[in-house]
């Protein structure tokens, strides 16, 4: 993942020079990193290794004495399971659409908020709130208050009896997820907007650049780092979306809105099949890593070509 390195050429060569001088400097530089690194390694790797271990076993929690080693059989079963492939497709669609839409909305809202106006603090708190409430509460809220065919707001506004959750299950779930994650995108992008150097903006204004020109040539490149960050982090969280599907559609009708986390949940907590659910978890990690690597390479190339301040 060398694409993640954002150090300017100057400091890299500087580092190389210092490394030649002796390990101590490099070690000193690594020191602040160590507490976090050690902590995360200790807490996350043990469960992960245990998950991998379980993935090589056939173990049904409610059939005692059923636990035995089966090698890669679980992985073979998972890949030949059509429902898994449906869940995979749904996960990809869900993640791509939700991240994209939430990013656009978040960008729009952040731009609207990046100026002084009356009641700005109130508006900002209001806009964050969908992100603050428990995801479970948000999912139930949308299921009952918005989508209910008889008592919901959509029924009230449009007057139709459309059963949104059965006719457009994936779209309904996506709407809820976008609503919940837009504030996250907005917060990140707003922080990025606020860290723009004011004098550069003023200089552009004095030079006669219009708002649109300033936005495209100065703000957007500056924001690129934050947009990338928002996309990356948002994607990782949204891939794991669970509450909306669990509470709104139970993955249905059929398997129309089943995504990978929900399917794993079914394997683990209804099937109590520890082996298969662990294997699926490991597969998700590998797939996400592959996608993340490619996505990062693609994003990095796009944005470095356009130049910009950094």
Partner 1 sequence: MTTVAPRKRQYGKGSLTVATWIIAILFVFPLLWMILTAFKQEADAYTDPPKLFFTPTFEQLGNVLGGGFLPYLSNSAFVTIVSTLLVLLFGIPAAYALSLAPVKGTSNALGFFLSTKMLPIVAAIIPLYVISQNTELLDTVWALVILYTSMNLPLAIWMMRSFFLEVPHEMIEAGRIDGANLPTLLRKIIMPVVAPGIAATALICVIFSWTEFFYAVNLTAARAGTVPVFLVGFITSEGLYWAQLSAAALLASLPVMIVGWIAQNHLVRGLSMGAVK
Partner 2 sequence: MRKLLTLFAATSLLATGCAGAGSLGTGSSTLVIAIVSNPQMKDAIALAPEFEKATGIGLKFVSLPENQARAKITASTATEGGEFDVVMISNYEAPQWAANGWLENLEPHMAATPGYDEGDFIPSIKTSLSYQNQMYAVPFYGESSFLAYRKDLFDKAGITMPAKPTWQQIADYAAKLDDKANGVAGICLRGKPGWGESLAPFTTVANTFGAQWFDQGWNAKLTSPEFTEAAKFYVNLIREHGEVGASSAGFSECGTRYTQGNAAMWYDATVMAGTNEDPASSKIVGKSGYAPAPVVKTQASGWLYTWALGIPKVAKDKDAAWKFMAWMTDKAYVQKVGQTYGWNRVPPGVRQSTYAIPEYADAAKAYAKPTLDGIADANQQKVMASPVPYPGIQFVGIPEFQDLGTRVSQQLSAAIAGRESVEDALKQSQDYAQTVGDSYKAVQ
Residues contributing to the site for partner 2 (CB under 8 A): 60-64, 83, 148-151, 161, 163, 165-167, 248-256, 266-267, 269-273
Between 33 and 62, name the residue whose CB sits nearer to partner 2.
62
Supply the DSSP string of 147-164, one letter for each residue.
Answer: S-TTTSHHHHHH-----H
Contacts with 70 (C-beta within 8 Å, 6 or more apart), sequence order: 56, 57, 58, 275
Question: Contact between 32 and partner 1 (CB under 8 A)?
Answer: yes
- Would you call 240 helix, strand, or coil by DSSP? coil
Between 156 and 294, name the residue whose CB sits nearer to partner 1.
156
59: alpha, beta or left? (left if phi > 0; alpha if psi -120 to 50): beta
Question: Contact between 199 and partner 1 (CB under 8 A)?
Answer: yes
Q: Is the dihedral of CA 103, 104, 110, 114 positive or negative?
A: positive
Q: Report H helices in 56-168.
A: 73-79, 82-113, 120-132, 135-141, 153-158, 164-167
Compute how many other C-beta atoms are within 10 angstroms of the C-beta atom of residue 166: 14
* Interactions with partner 1, residue window 3-22 (CB under 8 A): 3-8, 11-12, 15, 19
Q: What does residue 65 show for φ and ψ, rounded to 5 degrees?
A: 85, 5
What is the nearest approach in angstroms of partner 1 to the Cβ of residue 18? 9
Q: What does residue 68 show for φ and ψ, rounded to 5 degrees?
A: -155, 160
What is the nearest approach in angstroms of partner 2 to the Cβ of residue 71? 20
Question: Contact between 207 and partner 1 (CB under 8 A)?
Answer: no
Question: Contact between 156 and partner 1 (CB under 8 A)?
Answer: yes
What is the nearest approach in angstroms of partner 1 to the Cβ of residue 127? 6
Print the binding letters for residues 52-91 with partner 1: x by CB under 8 A, - otherwise.
--x------x------------------------------
Question: Contact between 229 and partner 1 (CB under 8 A)?
Answer: yes
Compute how many other C-beta atoms are within 10 angstroms of the C-beta atom of residue 199: 8
Do 169 and 89 contact (CB within 8 A), yes or no? no
Binding residue for partner 1, selected from 57, 95, 182, 231, defined by CB under 8 A: 182
* Interactions with partner 1, residue window 283-302 (CB under 8 A): 284-285, 288-289, 292
Q: Which does 84 bind (CB under 5 to 8 A by kind): partner 1, partner 2, none?
A: none
What is the nearest approach in angstroms of partner 2 to the Cβ of residue 229? 23
Between 70 and 128, name the residue whose CB sits nearer to partner 1.
128
CA 281 to chain centre: 17
Question: Contact between 141 and partner 1 (CB under 8 A)?
Answer: yes
Q: Which does 106 bind (CB under 5 to 8 A by kind): partner 2, partner 1, none?
A: none
Question: Contact between 174 and partner 1 (CB under 8 A)?
Answer: no
The three-point CA angle 239-304-228 to 5° equals 20
Print the binding letters for residues 249-288 with partner 1: x by CB under 8 A, - otherwise.
-----------xx--xx--x-----x--xx-xxx-xx--x
Compute how many other C-beta atoms are within 10 angstroms of the C-beta atom of residue 210: 10
Do 87 and 287 contact (CB within 8 A), yes or no? no
Strand partners, 68: 58
């Amino acid at each position: 993942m060398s694409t993640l390195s954002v150090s300017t050429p100057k400091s890299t060569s500087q580092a190389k020079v210092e490394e030649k001088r002796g390990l101590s400097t490099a070690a000193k530089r690594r020191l602040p990193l160590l507490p976090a690194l050690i902590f995360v390694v200790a807490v996350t790797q043990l469960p992960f290794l245990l998950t991998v271990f379980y993935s090589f076993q056939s173990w049904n929690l409610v059939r005692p004495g059923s636990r035995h080693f089966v090698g890669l059989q679980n992985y073979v079963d998972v890949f030949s399971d059509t429902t898994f492939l449906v869940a995979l497709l749904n996960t990809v669609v869900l993640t791509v659409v939700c991240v994209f839409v939430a990013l656009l909305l978040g960008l729009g809202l952040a731009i609207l908020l990046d100026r002084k106006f009356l009641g700005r603090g109130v508006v900002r708190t209001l806009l964050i709130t969908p992100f603050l409430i428990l995801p479970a509460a948000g999912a139930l809220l949308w299921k009952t208050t918005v989508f209910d065919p008889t008592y919901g707001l959509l029924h009230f506004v449009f007057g139709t009896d459309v059963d949104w959750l059965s006719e457009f299950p994936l779209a309904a779930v996506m709407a809820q997820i976008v609503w919940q994650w837009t504030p996250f995108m907005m917060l990140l992008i707003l922080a990025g907007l606020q860290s723009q150097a004011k004098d550069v903006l003023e200089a552009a204004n004095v030079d006669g650049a219009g708002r649109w020109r300033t936005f495209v040539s100065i703000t957007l490149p500056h924001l690129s780092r934050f947009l990338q960050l928002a996309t990356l982090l948002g994607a990782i969280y949204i891939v794991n979306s669970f509450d909306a599907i669990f509470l709104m559609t139970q993955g249905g009708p059929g398997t129309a809105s089943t995504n990978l986390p929900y399917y794993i949940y079914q394997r683990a907590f209804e099937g109590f099949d520890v082996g298969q659910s662990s294997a699926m978890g490991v597969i998700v990690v590998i797939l996400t890593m592959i996608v993340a690597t490619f996505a990062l390479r693609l994003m990095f190339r796009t944005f470095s070509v356009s130049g910009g301040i950094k």
